[in-house]
Chains A and B, each alone.
Chain A
Amino acid sequence: MTAGTVRPSIAVLERQLTLYRRLWRASVFSSFVLPVLFVISIGIGVGGYVGSVKGVDYLSWIVPGVVASTAFQMALGESTYPVLGDFKWSRAFHAMRATPVQPNHILTGHLLYLLFRVTTAVLAFLLVVLFFGALRSPWAVTVPLVCALLTVATAAPVSAFAASIDSDSHFTLLFRFVMIPASLFSGVFFPIEQLPGLIRPVAYVSPLWHAVELCRSATLGTAPPWPVAAHVGCLLVWAVAGTLLAARRFRRRLED
């Protein structure tokens, strides 16, 4: 990014943060309280029956899954209605377009905003689970980085989708056929080896699975199923391809 790109993108980020100042109390529940409650109830409750997975107590095992899955859901959710809304309902993106702000700055500002949202939520969550003894390796400090990469890998293609549709009814498809399967089959709650061979490729293409495995290897200090570079590579492909596609879609949508 050149200096000429940074300033307008920051201006877009500031607008998002100004909006967020009004909403943050409501979002604390879904992005922080809920995942913590989740880990406590599932980790301790279900964990009491399950015992351990691959020699690790269940709570410690699902913590990295829940943290990545929270990042995934925030990145996805915040790139659906809010993005379509700024194109279609408030037309705030069109308002920006009439200034020196360009479509790629709008996209960058949106992604920076989500990085901020996800990173703060992830850090708060990690701090809490630290006291549960769920972080077993100093590599846990890389979790926010993995979640940041996952955020772009998810938000960019979903934003491209939101910029391409005209009716919010398409999001139902996205939630039903992308978000739910990805959340269920990406190794968040159980290892994907438990999945029938036919469904396992869902995990391989899902950015969430790669992020879950990277986070898990970081908090537990174990090796991930694939080489780290392969997991990071898959996330990068989603992030880069998604960003390029979204940049095109944003430009298309704002020119007429």
Chain B
Amino acid sequence: MIFARGLVKRFGDFTAVNGIDVEVAPGEAFGFLGPNGAGKSSTMRMISCVSAPTSGELRILGMDPVRDGTRIRARLGVCPQLDNLDPDLTVRENLTTYARYFGLSRVEGRRRADELLDFVQLSDRAGSMVEPLSGGMKRRLTIARSMINEPDIVLLDEPTTGLDPQARHLLWERLFRLKQRGTTLVLTTHYMDEAEQLCDRLVVMDGGKIVAEGSPRSLIETYSTAEVVELRFPDGLDLNADYAAKMSGIGERVDPLPDRVLLYADDGDAALTEVHQRGLTPSSVLIRRSTLEDVFLHLTGRTLVD
């Protein structure tokens, strides 16, 4: 569905996307996970055929975005990072006018609009203006709009950024259904839980480059341990590095962060016992499963969300 080799996007002398290779198969839910500024949106805009690659090869649905941009866009659904709904149109009109951009008849546009409003649970707001809607509702409407042409691929740039947890879960549930229907999904996110929930496969992006690729599970297996022990010390802050040094050799790896020390081990309880045996007395301890956050930290030395 999507094929990129050595894809580059430059703005002036600044390289936002620095030679990435990506392949997305039909029916896959594929993610770009990375912090702000990683180059996710720049990549998505190239895939949406609204921004031309500076260099490298890019094929979408077997076509060239520069030459066949219009034909490709006819088969994509795009949900950009910033909502660009028509604020002076009603919820339903936003969908029916959009349907016309794809050359759908008015009757068909209205039919699909009603169906999609039902799908994103906005039917009761059909006649309402866009402005008073909550962030989550706007996002759902943008997603509905991106599906009006029954696209082969839906591109979602940070679908849940800025939403409250309840709105996020509702959105995830809708996206999950979309995925079950066999729609190819490509999404970007800087939330590791979102990537874990939705993506079959993902790439970790940082500074315009891909630093790792795989399924959420395989990434965790490759780059992290099964469990992580989070230790906080009463006099932490400056001394975390010293504490980390005292724990060296326990588990697979020790990572001192400003506010806590992370101890990577397949058996967290056993590791904690060893910590206590060395005479260390953390003020709080949390043993949890490894996440993509840990993968990112391991690969880049930084946290995803700061």
Using CB atoms and an 8 Å cutoff, list the residues of chain A in contact with chain B.
7-8, 10-12, 14-15, 18-19, 22, 90-92, 94-102, 254-256
- Interface of A: prevailing SS: helix
Instruction: Name B104's closest neighbour in chain A (CB-CB).
Output: A11
Known A-B contacts A255-B51, A255-B52; A98 and B78 likewise in contact (beta carbons under 8 Å): yes
Known A-B contacts A11-B100, A15-B97, A101-B101; A95 and B86 likewise in contact (beta carbons under 8 Å): yes
Contact with A along B141-155 (1 / 0, CB 8 A): 000010001000000
Tell me the minimal C-beta distance from B43 to chain A in angstroms. 13
A14–B100 CB distance below 8 A: yes
Of B87-95, B165-173, B267-275, B282-290, which stretch is located at the interface? Answer: B87-95
Once the chains are docked, how many angstroms separate the CA of A219 from the CA of B70?
Answer: 46
Once the chains are docked, how many angstroms separate the CA of A101 from the CA of B98?
Answer: 10
B103–A7 CB distance below 8 A: yes
Once the chains are docked, how many angstroms separate the CA of A27 from the CA of B4?
Answer: 50
Instruction: Name B145's closest neighbour in chain A (CB-CB).
Output: A95
> Which of A18, A255, A256 is in CB contact (< 8 Å) with B89?
A18
A99–B101 CB distance below 8 A: yes
Contact with A along B81-117 (1 / 0, CB 8 A): 0101111110001000110111100000000000000
In the complex, which of the residues B48, B71, B84, B93 has the most CB atoms of chain A within 10 Å of its own CB atom? Answer: B84
In the complex, which of the residues B70, B97, B102 has the most CB atoms of chain A within 10 Å of its own CB atom? Answer: B97
Q: Could you say which residues of chain A place their CB within 8 Å of the CB of B52?
A: 255
Known A-B contacts A14-B97, A18-B89, A18-B93; A99 and B84 likewise in contact (beta carbons under 8 Å): no
Once the chains are docked, how many angstroms separate the CA of A18 from the CA of B110?
Answer: 14
Q: Could you say which residues of chain B place their CB within 8 Å of the CB of A102?
A: 70
Q: Could you say which residues of chain B place their CB within 8 Å of the CB of A10?
A: 100
Range class of the B interface residue count: 20 to 34
A11–B103 CB distance below 8 A: yes
A95–B103 CB distance below 8 A: no
B73 close to chain A: CB less than 8 A: yes
B73–A98 CB distance below 8 A: yes
Once the chains are docked, how many angstroms separate the CA of A255 from the CA of B46?
Answer: 10
Known A-B contacts A94-B80, A98-B73, A256-B45; A11 and B101 likewise in contact (beta carbons under 8 Å): yes
A98–B89 CB distance below 8 A: no
Tell me the minimal C-beta distance from A186 to chain B in angstroms. 33
Q: Could you say which residues of chain A place their CB within 8 Å of the CB of B103?
A: 7-8, 11, 100
A95–B50 CB distance below 8 A: no
In the complex, which of the residues A15, A22, A102 has the most CB atoms of chain B within 10 Å of its own CB atom? Answer: A15
Tell me the minimal C-beta distance from A9 to chain B in angstroms. 11
Once the chains are docked, how many angstroms separate the CA of A46 from the CA of B286?
Answer: 87
In the complex, which of the residues B70, B76, B100 has the most CB atoms of chain A within 10 Å of its own CB atom? Answer: B100
Tell me the minimal C-beta distance from B74 to chain A in angstroms. 5
Once the chains are docked, how many angstroms separate the CA of A239 from the CA of B87?
Answer: 31
Known A-B contacts A7-B103, A94-B80, A255-B50; A99 and B73 likewise in contact (beta carbons under 8 Å): yes
Q: Could you say which residues of chain B place their CB within 8 Å of the CB of A100?
A: 70-71, 73-74, 101-103
Once the chains are docked, how many angstroms separate the CA of A90 from the CA of B71?
Answer: 25
Q: Could you say which residues of chain B place their CB within 8 Å of the CB of A96?
A: 101
A90–B84 CB distance below 8 A: yes
Tell me the minimal C-beta distance from B92 to chain A in angstroms. 11
